[in-house]
Structure 1
Amino acid sequence: MSEHDASEDFLDSLPELEAGKTFAFSCHPGISCFNACCGDLNLMMTPYDVLRLRTSLGMDSKKFVNTHLEISRTPETGFPMVRLRMLDNRKRSCPFVRDSGCSVYLNRPGACRTYPLGRASRLDDDGNVIEQFFIVKEPHCNGFKETKEWTSTEWLKDQGLEKYNEVNDRYMRLMTKVRRMGRALDDRQLNMAFLALFQIDNFKNFIKDMNVFSRLDVSEAEQNAIYEDDEKCLDFALNWIELVVTGECENLSPKK
C-alpha cells in the first residue's frame, strides 16, 4: 500500500465533520495535555511548510534540510516525500516545541494548524478541489472538553490556513496530473523537483546560472518579483516543474 493510500485509509477511519457541523475544541497552556501532541509524529512537510519554516529560522536550504528533514520519494509519482525529523529522545519530540509551547507558532506547518481536524483533498472530473474534514480525537487530548464551538470553515480561518491550503492544493494538482500520466518521476526529475520546490534560495541561483528565463515567456517584472519574493518563486517553481515533467502548463509556456 502506498503512503497516499495509507493516509486516505487513516482519514476514512475517522468520523467525518460534515459541512456546517461544529466541534468543540481549544488548546492553551492551561490544558493538562499541553504539548502532548507535539512528539512522535510522522509529520509530512509540503513545499510551503518548508518555505515558511526555513525563512522564519533564517536558515539556508542546505542547513535546514540537513538539520530538520528526512527525504524519501512517493512510490506512485516519484515526487519528494519530506518529513520533519523528530529529536532523538524518548518522546521523539518536535525540535521546535518548548515548555511554553511552539517556538515557531506563527510559521508552524499546515498539518499542525489543521489539527484536530484532518483534511483530505482530491480533484473531481472537472478539476475542482473537493475537500473533506475528519475529527482526529486522540485519547490524550483534553482540548475536546473545552466549550468553544467551531465549523471547519471557522477553524481554518482562525488558524491562518488559506495560503497553506491554496499552495498545497496546487502541489496536489501537480502530483495528480503526474499520477494520471501513469509514470513516476525519474531520478533527474526528482532532483529538479526537490531543488525547485524545497530549496527556493538555491533554485533562484539555478535560474540565474542556467539562464532559465531566456527560454520562457516571463515578463521582466515577473522575473524581478520571482527573485525578490520567495512565495512568488515557489509559485513559479510549481509551474516550471509542471512544464518540465508533463510538457505543458497552463500558466507557463516556452518562448516562441
Structure 2
Amino acid sequence: MAGGVSRPGETVTQRILSILAVFEKSLAPRSLTEIAHETDLAPSTTHRLVAELEEWGALQRDAHGRYQVGIRLWELGQHAGRQVREIARPLLQDLYTLTNETVHIAIRERNEVLYIDRVYGTRRVPQASRVGGRLPLHATAVGKVILAHEDEWLREAVLAQPLESRTPNTHVDPDALRAELAGIRERGYAMTVDEVRIGASSIAVPVFQREGTIGAALGLVARAEDLDTLERHLPALRGIARRIESSVGGFPMRTLAPERRRK
C-alpha cells in the first residue's frame, strides 16, 4: 500500500533520495502525508528522514507547515552550475573578440533550446532570444545542431509534434527537416536565415560531452545579408567549442543553466 510500508532492501540513502526526488517532479510544497504517499515510505520513516533533511537545510517548511526545497540544498546545486558558467564565460568572450559578432551558448530543454549565456556584438542584428529565453529546436542554428546529434528517437519525437512557424521562412516540413539534420550531422554545423526573426542569420557548432554525446551548442548571430560569410567563423567556433569541452570535463552541460525558468 502506498505510504504504508517501506520498500524492503532499500538503503537509507535511497529513501532520502526518493524524498528529494519528489521535489524534482514539482516544486510545490508537500505535507508529510503527501511525501509518504509519493515515496511509498512508511509515515514514521518519512517523518524521521524529513526531520533530518530539515535540520540540515535540504528541506524547509513554509508558513502552512508544508515542506519545500531548502535554501542550503539550492545553494549546493548552484555550485556545479556556477563553476561551469565561470569556465564558459571567458571562452565566450574570446569568441566575441575573434568574431566581433553576437555569440551565445545554449542547451536543450525538452523540445526547446534554452539560451544560457550571450555576449552581444556592436552591430545591430534582429534578436529573437535572450539569456534564459527559449526558442524552438527546429528553427534555430543552435537548436538544429543539438537536435541533429541527439538520439534518433528524440529527433523523431520532436518532428512528430506540430512545428511552430516563427516566420514564413521557418522550416516546418518533417521530411525536409530530417534531410537537413542529416546534412548537419555530416558537415558538423548548422546555419539558418530568417527562420526566427527576419533579418537575422546564424551558425552553430556542437559542444560534446564524454563519449560523443551532445551537451550544448555554440552559436553566432549576424545580419541576414552576412549569411554567405558566416562559415569563415567556423575555425573560431570549433576551437572555442573544443576548449569548452576540455575545460568543463565531466560536468553535465545542463548545469550551465542558472536556474530553471518557466515560460
**What is the TM-score with the length of structure 1 in the denominator?**
0.21
**What is the TM-score with the length of structure 2 in the denominator?**
0.21
Higher strand share: 2
**Greater RCO structure (CA 8 Å; 6+ sep):** 1
| Larger Rg over CA atoms | 2
